[in-house]
Structure 1
Amino acid sequence: MERTELVELLSPEGLRLLDSLPAYGTIDVVRAVSELRKAGHAAGLVAAALSQSRLRAKAAPKFDEFASRMLFTEAGLEQATRLRVAALHAGRFAGLRTDTDRPVRIVDLGCGIGGDAMAMAAIDLDVTAVDADEVTASVASYNLAPFPRASVVHSPAEDVNLDDFDAAWLDPARRTSGHNNTSRITRPEDYSPSLDWAFGLAQRMPVGVKLGPGHDRDLIPADAEAQWVSVDGQLVEMGLWFGALAREGIRRSALLLTATGAVEMTAEGDSDDAPVGELGSYVYEPDGAIIRARLIGDLARTLGAEMLSEGIAYLTAPTLVQTPFASAFRVLEVLPVDEKKLRLALQERRIGTLEIKKRGVDVDPAALRSRLKLKGPESATLILTRAAGHRVALLVERVR
């Protein structure tokens, strides 16, 4: 979204038009454009309204019913925190206390479209949202308008006077500038603001920092609590918490959010891996948050399991223990690793639909599936990995 589009959209006519549109997935866009133009709406306004309608539909998984009352940029939505996760961020700040009776004052530096600030304001925290991009700050202002204790400032994070705030939340921009077709930034020193600046701020006040889940673990400060968050099996972020926002005695955390609730595994640091054992009747695939937090060894010990092979994130055990922290698979057969023999084995079992999972082996599952020339009515799951250092092909069934 460009500035001129935003100005048009934020007019009374633009907002009425946007709110009058039916759900994006239910309309014929070409026909809608034609009808709206015939009704007298300017071409730019029609394009902006339909674009926002599309983004609102795309935002629904992150913002639920709130998406239908928000504005977005393409890049802002891409990096926005899911509302459910943002509520957990806000909960950390809600636990802070000041020396007076006044509410805790939080500054959200790099607020984007305002998702985290919305969650904070919704629980009556005083929050000032800051963004260096004019259009993004304007979008955040619109989204935060219903919350009287939230305000928005258009400014680089580094230029904000932080003396009036008790704590800070940072979601450094990890994409190139702009609102559409941006690309990912890989070097932390190029983030906006940079990580060195963010970590320096953490020496002055309680700070939370949102980063990508694949962020280099060697760059995690020793005094930070690092929490990896998984939503319905998808690893979505790593949060770093400093000062009073970090929990005592916890430096590694894996938090899993599912349809049935939240579960967490914590530790004072990386856990030691379990020993390598014999292939048992069950194989476990830990959730991505467990893997990134390096809590695989702790998980193994809770399951009575061992590593399937050194350095590979599969566990094995002779018996089944239900856990929310890993997917469990019952081992049906050990099949040949040789591709020709594997193809024959699958044909004999009339397997036409095959899920291929792999760790520790150089295999392209899509290309292999094509070469196997699968036919038949049966479905199966194949795990390609290593057991005690040797390649194995395991025919398994997922334990529901």
Structure 2
Amino acid sequence: MAYQFSIDDVAFLASPDGAAALDSAAALPLTDASLLKDLPALRKHYGSSDGALVETVRNRRRAADKLVDADRLLLTDIALQQATPTAVAAHRAADIAKRYPGAVVHDVTCSIGAELLAFAGHDGIGGVIGSDIDPVRLAMASHNMTAHDLDSRPAVRTSWQLLRADALAPCSRGDVVIADPARRTARGRTFRIDELDPPLLELLAVYAGTPLAVKCSPGLDYRTLRDRFGFEGQVHLTSLDGGVREACLWTEADDQPERRASVLRTGAGGTISYEVTSDDSDDLDDASAPETGDWIIDPDGAVVRAGLVRHYAHRHGLRQLDPQIAYLTGSTVPAGERGFRVVERLGVAERALRSALAAHGCGSLEILVRGLDIDPDKLRRRLKLKGSAPMSLVLTRIGRSGVAFLCEPGVRAPH
């Protein structure tokens, strides 16, 4: 079980003595294997604060690939799991600044303040308010905002304030409200609308008439939300570096597309992004026979979950292998996307697959499956690979027939 921080822990960690103690702790391995060796030294110098020091250092290390300047943050394990990645938060801040120039943004479930930092760091946002019911997380948010505010870099450009409040009890006149309901129950992660905390439908009711963005799991059944509960806003799916991170519900979206997918990719040159929306054309020639091109393209998960595969295909001159399947085909791979060059088209009978793989000397195999009830790991074991060449196998269906495409290893086209 993760360490449970107290207000006293946060006060110590945020102090000059706590900062020095964290530097000392950060010099230790603090791995699962080394903890028994590392703890006595920490306990000798810092007494009962050893647990808070260990948990903070380990959380900072886990946050390094998710949050900018993680080595300065105070955070809990659960808060880190739910924290919005910095690149996604920055993208939302730019979105808000474009939709509502100069708006005061109120994050009513601000937790440790990870997203507040992105809002306060954007010139187009007029002010930032954060509130949370948890006093420990709020104290951590105060430290995190102050630590950046005092830094020589202009990380915080606009005014901010923190309040302790229940998300379902409006306590400000913010122009835009942000909420991130907890998506974990005693049974683990949940995708059910009625199990979020605070409840999604109550949030939508409480802030009716105010622009509201609610961050939800990418597995959210937004179609049921529309059909059963009458949600009329925008559903915005966002992915980062190939992983779908969230489905954000925007309520005040009269002039916005109904569905939207943002694809973010980070690199040495910063964050590269593109968007596909339901306002884009989805005109594809479904009547023509789906000839397989040189490449199979697997669209980004945000595009797939947002139901925008046809729109994406139209933009890049691609075709669907089957109208009900998200795999696309064409003569080239769109910039930044991953494609598989087709070597051979086969049926899905294992004997034929085994023979073809042996003929190509395949020794390692990536298997992608859509539209068929096949377990890739179990199939790989049954194929008994004996060669040395790496290959990819795309398994899907066209109409009612299963089909396999033996491909060269997947490659990502340069931007």
The reply to whether TM is greater than 0.5 is: yes
Aligned to 2:50: 46
Residues 24 and 63 of structure 1: is their aligned pair in 2 closer, same or farther, counting only changes over 3 Å?
farther
Alpha-carbon separation, structure 2, partners of 1:52 and 1:274? 55
Aligned to 2:116: 117
Aligned to 1:301: 314
Aligned to 1:313: 326
Alpha-carbon separation, structure 1, partners of 2:83 and 2:366? 31
Q: CA deviation at 1:394?
A: 1.1
User: Is the counterpart of residue 62 in structure 1 residue 83 in structure 2?
Assistant: no
Alpha-carbon separation, structure 2, partners of 1:283 and 1:117? 40
Does the 8 A contact of 2:25 with 2:42 survive in 1? no
Alpha-carbon separation, structure 2, partners of 1:250 and 1:337? 39
- What TM-score, normalized by structure 1, do the two folds share? 0.87
1:379 is paired with a residue whose SS is strand
> Match for 1:198 among 203, 216, 227?
203
In the TM superposition, what whole-angstrom CA distance separates every residue of 1:201-257 from its partner, at most 9, and x where no partner exists?
4532111111111111211455312221111111111122232xx472422211111
Does the 8 A contact of 1:110 with 1:129 survive in 2? yes
User: Is the counterpart of residue 223 in structure 1 residue 232 in structure 2?
Assistant: yes
Alpha-carbon separation, structure 2, partners of 1:392 and 1:53? 49
Residues 154 and 33 of structure 1: is their aligned pair in 2 closer, same or farther, counting only changes over 3 Å?
same
Aligned to 1:134: 135
Residues 268 and 304 of structure 1: is their aligned pair in 2 closer, same or farther, counting only changes over 3 Å?
closer
Aligned to 1:18: 22
What is the one-letter code of the residue matched to 1:176?
T
Alpha-carbon separation, structure 1, partners of 2:27 and 2:325? 45
Aligned to 2:393: 382
Over aligned residue pairs, what C-alpha RMSD do you find?
2.7
In the TM superposition, what whole-angstrom CA distance separates every residue of 1:85-126 from its partner, at most 9, and x where no partner exists?
11122223334669xxxx633221111221111111223642
Corresponding pairs, count:
384
1:157 is paired with a residue whose SS is coil
Structure 2: tracts of 5 or more residues without a match = 150-157
What is the one-letter code of the residue matched to 1:227?
H
1:63 is paired with a residue whose SS is coil
Q: CA deviation at 1:274?
A: 5.5
> Match for 2:94 among 91, 95, 99?
91
Q: CA deviation at 1:81?
A: 0.5
User: Is the counterpart of residue 35 in structure 1 residue 41 in structure 2?
Assistant: yes
Residues 233 and 186 of structure 1: is their aligned pair in 2 closer, same or farther, counting only changes over 3 Å?
closer
Residues 372 and 50 of structure 1: is their aligned pair in 2 closer, same or farther, counting only changes over 3 Å?
same
Aligned to 2:4: 2
User: Is the counterpart of residue 232 in structure 1 residue 245 in structure 2?
Assistant: no
Mapping for residues 240-255 of structure 1, pairs under 5 Å: 240-243=249-252, 246=253, 248-255=255-262
Aligned to 1:176: 185
Does the 8 A contact of 1:106 with 1:169 survive in 2? yes
Residues 119 and 249 of structure 1: is their aligned pair in 2 closer, same or farther, counting only changes over 3 Å?
closer
Does the 8 A contact of 1:134 with 1:154 survive in 2? yes
> Match for 1:257 among 264, 283, 292?
264
Alpha-carbon separation, structure 2, partners of 1:97 and 1:37? 50
Alpha-carbon separation, structure 2, partners of 1:23 and 1:185? 37
Q: CA deviation at 1:69?
A: 0.3
What is the one-letter code of the residue matched to 1:154?
R
Alpha-carbon separation, structure 1, partners of 2:353 and 2:77? 44
User: Is the counterpart of residue 283 in structure 1 residue 289 in structure 2?
Assistant: no
Aligned to 1:359: 370
In the TM superposition, what whole-angstrom CA distance separates every residue of 1:121-172 from its partner, at most 9, and x where no partner exists?
223642221112222222222212244822222221112324x322211111
Does the 8 A contact of 2:116 with 2:128 survive in 1? yes
What is the one-letter code of the residue matched to 2:53?
A
Residues 375 and 256 of structure 1: is their aligned pair in 2 closer, same or farther, counting only changes over 3 Å?
same
What is the one-letter code of the residue matched to 2:54?
L
2:201 is paired with a residue whose SS is helix
Alpha-carbon separation, structure 2, partners of 1:73 and 1:279? 49
Alpha-carbon separation, structure 2, partners of 1:346 and 1:240? 45
Alpha-carbon separation, structure 2, partners of 1:305 and 1:123? 37
1:375 is paired with a residue whose SS is coil
| 266-275 or 130-139, larger mean C-alpha shift | 266-275
What is the one-letter code of the residue matched to 1:208?
A
Residues 225 and 15 of structure 1: is their aligned pair in 2 closer, same or farther, counting only changes over 3 Å?
same
Does the 8 A contact of 2:395 with 2:404 survive in 1? yes
Q: CA deviation at 1:7?
A: 5.3
What is the one-letter code of the residue matched to 1:15?
A
Does the 8 A contact of 2:5 with 2:52 survive in 1? no
Aligned to 2:334: 322
Aligned to 1:331: 342
Structure 1: tracts of 5 or more residues without a match = none
Alpha-carbon separation, structure 1, partners of 2:323 and 2:116? 43
Does the 8 A contact of 1:273 with 1:296 survive in 2? no
| 273-282 or 215-224, larger mean C-alpha shift | 273-282
User: Is the counterpart of residue 73 in structure 1 residue 76 in structure 2?
Assistant: yes
Alpha-carbon separation, structure 1, partners of 2:115 and 2:174? 17
What is the one-letter code of the residue matched to 2:255?
E
In the TM superposition, what whole-angstrom CA distance separates every residue of 1:281-311 from its partner, at most 9, and x where no partner exists?
3222111111111111122223333221231
Alpha-carbon separation, structure 2, partners of 1:335 and 1:12? 66
| 192-201 or 292-301, larger mean C-alpha shift | 192-201
Does the 8 A contact of 1:110 with 1:130 survive in 2? yes
User: Is the counterpart of residue 185 in structure 1 residue 190 in structure 2?
Assistant: yes
Alpha-carbon separation, structure 1, partners of 2:179 and 2:93? 12
Alpha-carbon separation, structure 2, partners of 1:3 and 1:22? 18
Residues 200 and 20 of structure 1: is their aligned pair in 2 closer, same or farther, counting only changes over 3 Å?
same
1:361 is paired with a residue whose SS is coil
What is the one-letter code of the residue matched to 1:158?
L
| 137-146 or 273-282, larger mean C-alpha shift | 273-282
Residues 24 and 355 of structure 1: is their aligned pair in 2 closer, same or farther, counting only changes over 3 Å?
farther
